[in-house]
Amino acid sequence: MRGNLRRLTELSLLTAAALIIFIIELQIPSPFVIPGIKLGLSNIITVYAVYRYRAFEAFSVLIVRILLGSIFSGNLTALIYSLTGGLLCFLGMLVFKRFIDERHLWISSVFGAVLHNTGQIAAALLLLQTPQILMYYPFLLLAGCLSGAFTGLCAQIIVNRIDIRKSDS
């Protein structure tokens, strides 16, 4: 029970941190006109949670962050894109986690970001029924690789600094 409480607290802290990063990032004006292209800094927390916590725990951090984030930002229409992207990314990362170890976690972050953007495009295709949306895909692919590498490297730094054995005691 004590372990549970400790984990719950850690997960809540992670979720809160992800939300704060998400809200702050919203305030930074994006130089790109294409919706969906941004750094996605809050995914640093997602990547970290995927690698350091059980699947279900990381999943709750992600879902709570997406739901509360879209409520706080007042942009509920973006929710469906965030959800499809986030879920696809999450499932992909669970798979990559099996054969990419912690010291190379930025690689799985890149793949995760690419999957995230793929999910968003798929959702947009289904919703808008305009195949021309696919023209966005190269941009999203490029942006996903770059931002995925960046957030992945940030998560890498965090993982290197926080020793799992200490926090598990």
Q: What is the CA radius of gyration of the chain?
A: 16
* Residue 41 contacts other proteins per CB under 8 A: no
Quote the CA–CA distance of 31 and 157 in Å, as a whole number: 27
Name the minimum Å distance from CB 108 to other proteins: 8
Residue from 115, 105, 114, 122 nearest 164 by CA: 105
Q: Which is nearer to other proteins, 76 or 162 (CB)?
A: 76
Q: How far is residue 105's CA from residue 108's CA, in Å, rounded to a whole number?
A: 5
Chain positions 81 to 110 lying near other proteins, rule: CB under 8 A, are 81, 99-100, 104, 107, 110
Number of residues engaging other proteins in binding (CB under 8 A): 35
CB-neighbour burial class of residue 99 (10 A; exposed 0-12, middle 13-18, buried 19+):
exposed
Q: By CB under 8 A, which span of 12-20, 44-52, 138-146, 155-163 interacts with other proteins? A: 138-146
- Kindly state whether residue 124 participates in binding other proteins, applying the rule CB under 8 A: yes
Name the residues that contact other proteins, by CB under 8 A: 33-35, 74-75, 77-78, 81, 99-100, 104, 107, 110-111, 114, 124, 127-130, 132-133, 135-146, 149
